[in-house]
Amino acid sequence: MEVCYQLPVLPLDRPVPKHVLSRRGAISFSSSSSLFGAPDPRQLSQRRGAISYDSSDQTALYIRMLGDVRVRSQVGFEPEGRGSYPYLCIDFRTLHSCSESTSASSLIPGPGFISAGPVSGRRLRRLLSFQRYLHSSRLLWGTTHLNPLHILDEDYIGQAKCMLEQVGSWNFDLFLFDRLTNGNSLVTMTFHLLNQYGLLELFQLDMVKLWRFLVMVQEDYHSLNPYHNAVHAADVTQAMYCYLREPKLAKSLTSCDILLGLLAAATHDLDHPGVNQPFLIKTNHYLAKLYRNSSVLENHHWRSAVGLLRETGLFSHLPAEEGLKMERQLGSLILATDISRQNEYLGKFRTHLNQDDLCLSNASHRHFILQMALKCADICNPCRPWELSKQWSEKVTQEFFHQGDIEKKHKLEVSPLCDSQRNSMGNIQIGFMTYVVEPLFAEWGRFSDTRLSQTMLGHLGLNKASWGGLVQQERPSSPDELEPSSPASATESEPESASAAEPTADTTATATGATNSKEIPQGSKES
């Protein structure tokens, strides 16, 4: 009997998609199967899973094993451990013959475990690796199945592929793409872009190793973080791709530059705890001590990425010296996203533009432009269309206020911008745009005066005006007011709002103050 099933594994803290629950049937269960890495029989009650199925054409099972319940500390910012690579979406086809005494019923979980028939754990792992390779090949090279079988989410996969055809559009809706890929936007996006540039063949990257690396990267982002999660990383990767296509960069960057740029974008917030650097310092977190209170999160993101590169052996086929060089350059890109060093990079960028001495045939100049491109990609949300920008603003504000709630609960000094009773979303956004985004993107527009730059600055102006209008509406009306504030007066009030949103900002500078303590919305790692 031929049995076809997909095995995309979702983490415990990710809601099961509605389109999965709407299938013809669903079973929830607890599992102790060693195949899914149950760490201890005593924890079986903490494991959950579910199956959705549809047997109208051929037997198809959609199996979801949800990972261990994570026990978080009182403060709640320790990184989650990695289990069995839960974001894998594997097209897993196995032929079961009668001689193997395996039937479709053997795939239905009994009380407490999944039975996979007589297949050994080692053989199953080999099958999974091989099927990952085949699945990746079919997806990325456009190869169709010789004998197409019914799969549950073929329609969603098709829509995701259609979206990837427009991956270079500045209006790309990453939230929709993440839903269509069943929460696998970072893996799907990064793999597609690396393949589109032909980097797999050029650098002789093993497809299975690369897929495993990206899955582990996606898994090490905390999905409980409202903002600093894998969706944000996928959004930054898509923005980075848009910048890499700009004429000045497209004709100058080497293949190595492009590979490092995309990998840095995908890993730039790896294992972000959802709180900023000052929080880690004042709670005596081990990361703050390890990196001596300097670029704490950026160093951790970089080292985490290097750890996964070495664990998967993605660059193991390269000469040792070349591999170390790529790791250092990756770190240089990620460290540039430290918002507390915004003035340093912006000043250097402005000096180069004023002197007109950027030469992209120079490797160090190309690397510097990659750093600036990644910085722009990291905080580009206010430059997106309003419908997308507003969603990002809501998410980052939620993460800020969550940190503030933790600080209040543990009687810590509440960080600026994290007190929900003293700050509003509109004021935070206006301050962020005024002191951080506008200065950076104005200089980027000088460097790359293209239609994309004009589009981004146009959206930035409109979004800032929209937030100004919302702030005006939220203010209590005075009895002396004769009429509501006009859009012009809302715009005029923005500097005042910005100043309120950036209580530590030096209003005579372009991107200071709150940037020095990394308490900036939409942003880099420390928000």
Does the annotation place 229 within a ligand binding site? yes
Please, which residues bridge with residue 27 across strands? 51
Q: Measure CA of the first residue to CA of the last residue in the chain; give whole Å.
A: 53
Does the annotation place 498 within a ligand binding site? no
How far is residue 58's CA from residue 147's CA, in Å, rounded to a whole number? 12
Residues 6 or more apart from 354 whose CB is under 8 A from it?
Answer: none
- DSSP-derived letter for residue 60 is E
The CA-based diameter of the chain, rounded to the nearest angstrom, is 88
- Tokens coding 185: 């936007």
Task: Return the SS3 of 292.
Answer: coil
Task: Return the SS3 of 480.
Answer: coil
Does the annotation place 338 within a ligand binding site? no
How far is residue 370's CA from residue 376's CA, in Å, rounded to a whole number? 10
Reply yes or no on whether 228 is catalytic: yes
Does the annotation place 423 within a ligand binding site? no
Please, which residues bridge with residue 64 across strands? 50
Does the annotation place 159 within a ligand binding site? no
Please, which residues bridge with residue 62 across strands? 6, 52
Q: Are 222 and 228 in contact (CB under 8 A)?
A: yes
What Å distances lie between residue 378 and 236, 393, 515, CA to CA?
6, 13, 14
> Taking phi first (over 0 means left), then psi (-120 to 50 degrees means alpha), and beta for anything else, what does residue 266 get?
alpha
CB atoms within 10 A of CB 367: 17
- Tokens coding 382: 């206010």
Catalytic residue among 135, 192, 228, 459: 228
Q: Give the DSSP per-residue string, 2-56.
A: EEEEE-----TTSPPPHHHHTSSEEEEE-B--GGGT---GGGGGG-EEEEEE--S
Residue 526: closest CA among 291, 273, 284, 344: 273
What Å distances lie between residue 268 and 237, 272, 325, CA to CA?
9, 9, 18
Does the annotation place 429 within a ligand binding site? yes
- Tokens coding 372: 């600036």
How far is residue 189's CA from residue 325's CA, in Å, rounded to a whole number? 25
Task: Return the SS3 of 221.
Answer: coil
Phi, psi of 417 (to 5 degrees): 75, -5
Phi, psi of 72 (to 5 degrees): -100, 155
Does the annotation place 378 within a ligand binding site? yes
Task: Return the SS3 of 269.
Answer: coil
Q: Give the DSSP per-residue string, 375-392.
A: HHHHT-GGGS-HHHHHHH
Please, which residues bridge with residue 53 across strands? 25, 61
Task: Return the SS3 of 496.
Answer: helix
- Binding-site annotation: residue ranges for Zn(2+): 232, 268-269, 378
- Binding-site annotation: residue ranges for AMP: 228-232, 269, 378, 429
- Binding-site annotation: residue ranges: 228-232, 268-269, 378, 429
- Catalytic site residues? 228
